[in-house]
A = this chain, B = another copy of it.
Amino acid sequence: MNQKIENLSKKLVEKNIKPSFQRIKVLEYLTTKRNHPTVDEIFNELVIEIPTLSKATVYNTLDLLMESKLARIVTIEENETRYDADVTNHGHFKCDLCGVIYDFPVNIDDLSTDSLKNFKINEKNVYFQGICPKCLDNIDNNKDKNKGK
């Protein structure tokens, strides 16, 4: 329990970010929830525990985490920016029906990108869209229901 706080604190200190309570809580939210949250989602949950919390602090903290590569933006086409503290190589899949964003392992380096040999590549993102198994099931079940009628 306290062990976790200390780990998060250490992560911040390693990047020369002072581990304030607010910053630890934002990072904790990201790392434990792993739900690719919006600023609002982070704020609305944390403000319960930190009633004085300001949305500006959430924005500021996320900017800090981004700068030091402790978090990154989930690049999907949405009106609200979403964040991810998992900075290892993995893909994102957004279900067009329920909106949930799934992580999936993907070895991006499998892609041959000869045409970029003169480019310096710093980040690689893979993003798929479609329908998740849960929603596919729901569609099937509804079909069955209609059959019965």
Any chain B CB within 8 A of the CB of A29?
Answer: no
| Binary contact readout A49-77 vs B (1 if CB under 8 angstroms, 0 otherwise) | 00000000000000000000000010111
Main SS class of interface, A? mixed
What bracket does the count of chain A residues touching chain B fall in? 35 or more
Copies of this polypeptide in the complex: 2
Tell which of A6-14, A36-44, A111-119, A141-149 binds the partner.
A111-119
Do residues A118 and B105 form an inter-chain contact, with CB atoms below 8 A? no
With beta carbons under 8 angstroms apart, the residue of B110, B113, B119, B127 that contacts A112 is: B110
List residues of chain B with CB within 8 A of the CB of A111: 91, 106-108, 110-111, 126
List residues of chain B with CB within 8 A of the CB of A120: 130-131, 136
User: Which residue numbers of A lie inside 8 Å of B, CB to CB?
Assistant: 73, 75-77, 81, 91, 93, 96, 102, 104-108, 110-113, 115-116, 118-133, 136
User: Other than the known A75-B127, A104-B115, A107-B112, what 4 A-B pairs have Cβ atoms closer than 8 Å?
Assistant: A96-B122, A108-B111, A122-B129, A124-B126
